[in-house]
A and B are shown apart, each in its own frame.
Chain A
Amino acid sequence: MKKFHVLTTAVAAAAFLAGCGGDDAGDQSPRVAFTQMVNFGDSLSDVGSYDVGAVALSGGGHFSINGVGATGLLYINWTEFLAATLKLTQPCAAETGLNTIQAVVGVPPVPATFHDTGATPCLNYAQGGSRVTLQPGPGNVALFNAADPTTYGDALGALTIPVHDQIQNYLTDVGPTFSPTTLVTVLAGANDVFVQTATVSAEVAAGVSQDTAVAGAVAAMTTAADDLANDVNTMILANGATHVVVVNIPDASLTPSAIASGASGQALTKSLVQTFNTELAAKLQAGPSLLLVDAFSASEDQATNKAQYGLTDVTTPVCTSSSSLLCTKNTLIAAVTPAASAAPATAANTYEYADGVHPTPYGYRLLSELVGEQMAIKGWL
């Protein structure tokens, strides 16, 4: 019976000694060993192009709730969340500056300066207000009109370097090619939508028929999408990039500012966004090097099924400042302002929007989760 006893002991030991393992994080490195990230786009990817001069004085710089840890999250912009996920150094603005009108703002302008070379280059070229190809973008000093108080914000003097020029600046300063371990992200087009909706309003006010004005805007959005697809195809993919994430325009008709423009304004915004996204998807050169992320559908789902995303409010801006560029924890609506001034505004982490068009840090985090999910499906993460 000795043998028998040994065997039963062995069975029992195998079955129960095994139950000692803990829960482990596992391998946290992405499947592709990225060495750097380069970002092109607009305010949705901007990590501080205007964090100088008057903006720096106000503690702003991101188009969201500014200040590290202001809402208890470690990062603000989706490119920052993504960099952390990919174990990359945090992105920083490739070009900074403000063409501030000192007479209006009371603070001097700051000359445009590049930071994309040297030992620790900053390779996030995205700038608030940037359009795909054309200047001026929203916030550009060229739009300032002393007779029109609605343009006074433009006196800050955003550079709004178009995405085409951003890519060219990378190719000139850092390139001429992209390395296979560089992740390139592109998110642009929303400012072209804003310019076109404003143009339609102005044209209609000037007596142009609604149909003619809208047709002109649709044509302009098609051109912008063609331009962006062409830039990605010929300046990024053709120059060696093998990991290019292009994010389409979220449904801007669901933003607080579009909602404020009324049903017809929302409908126009939505149709222009869809025109752009459809054309972009059609013209981008599909393949193993390109990942097109559908932020449009995700943003609609977030608005419809907000609880699924941990959101409670998808229509109220939490910043009291008109632009989130200047928004900090100290300029939030009462509902999300923490009782103790030292505490983070964690209540803001259930709100989608910081201002009329830009997400809260949590909203940006949701975008980084979407991009992360799609990168994982693509085999990059």
Chain B
Amino acid sequence: MKKQSIASALVATAALCGAGAVHAQAAGDVMVQLGWNKIMPKVKSSDLSAPSLPGSQINIKSASALFATLTYMVTDDISVEALGGLPYKHDIVGAGAVSGVGEIGTIHQISPTVLLQYRFLAADGPFRPYVGAGPTFAKFYGTQGSAALTAVTNPGGPATTIGGDTEWGASLQAGANYKIDKHWFVDASLIKTFISTKATLSTGQETKARLNPIAINASIGYTF
């Protein structure tokens, strides 16, 4: 309850400062946010399928991009948020037996997510922690291979390319926002997504990778 008392203290302070009629995050409100999101995959990949050098795995590095959200307050406490953003460009690096190869390709992804959120504390308070959960749709596309990838899969042949993929996953979110004035607020959240992908090479082999990224983001928001 300590947190809550701090929050109520903040509310009280805001009231004392004469902020006046603090605009609420109340039923019917619409909010937009614009910010920066960093996606950090926690990859567990399978070995590249045969024919291939044994134990060839991949890791997918972190990527950041601009993102935006659109939130509708269904009630004073329950909201629906749509989250999307510019494409993320991840480096694909070797892992397992090919750990140390370095970058073997790049891949772009977009992962729009819809979250059903529950917001704590008073609707007209300045500070509102929240939790959310919902589906994530991920599209992996715009891949690039490398000389190293071709060297181990099709030496002397046409360059090896990596096929894209589309997947559904589930996301859990925890965050909080803090009101700056009547319309503006700042927001930060952590999103854990449970999702896998399958990379298929033009030479026929495939590897399945459990991505399960953690995303951390910060944004500035506006309440209409």
Binding site for B on A (CB under 8 A): 1, 4, 7-8, 10-12, 14-16, 18-31, 73-75, 80-82, 84-85, 301, 305, 307-311, 365, 368-370, 372-373, 375-377, 379, 381
Contact = CB atoms under 8 A, between A and B. Distances in A.
Contacts of A10: 68
10 contacts: A16-B112, A18-B108, A19-B141, A23-B144, A85-B155, A308-B51, A310-B50, A372-B155, A373-B101, A381-B147
Interface in B69-114: 69-70, 82, 84-87, 94, 97-102, 104-106, 108, 110, 112
Most buried by B among A4, A19, A301: A19
Nearest to A11: B68
Contacts of A369: 53, 151-153, 155
B160 A25 contact: yes
Interface centre among B30, B51, B162 (most CB of A within 10 A): B51
Contacts of B106: 26
Contact of A23 (B86, B94, B163): B163
Interface string B198-210: 0000100000000
A181 to B, nearest CB: 15
Contacts of A24: 142-145, 161
A7 B33 CA distance: 10
User: Which 3 A-B residue pairings sit nearest by Cβ, starting from the closest?
Assistant: A21-B142, A310-B51, A372-B151
Contacts of A310: 50-51
A51 B85 CA distance: 61
Interface string B156-199: 11011111100000000000000000000000000000000000
A230 B127 CA distance: 73
A14 B153 contact: no
B160 A18 contact: no
A231 B55 CA distance: 34
Nearest to B86: A14
Given A369-B151, A369-B152, A308 B52 contact: yes
B152 A376 contact: yes
Given A14-B85, A25-B160, A308-B50, A375 B151 contact: yes
Contacts of A18: 86-87, 108, 110
A373 B161 contact: no
Given A82-B155, A365-B156, A21 B54 contact: no
A183 B191 CA distance: 48
B141 A26 contact: no
Interface string B39-83: 000000000001111100000000000101110000000000010
Given A307-B50, A372-B155, A85 B110 contact: no
B11 interface: no
A365 B100 contact: no
Contacts of B53: 309, 369-370, 373
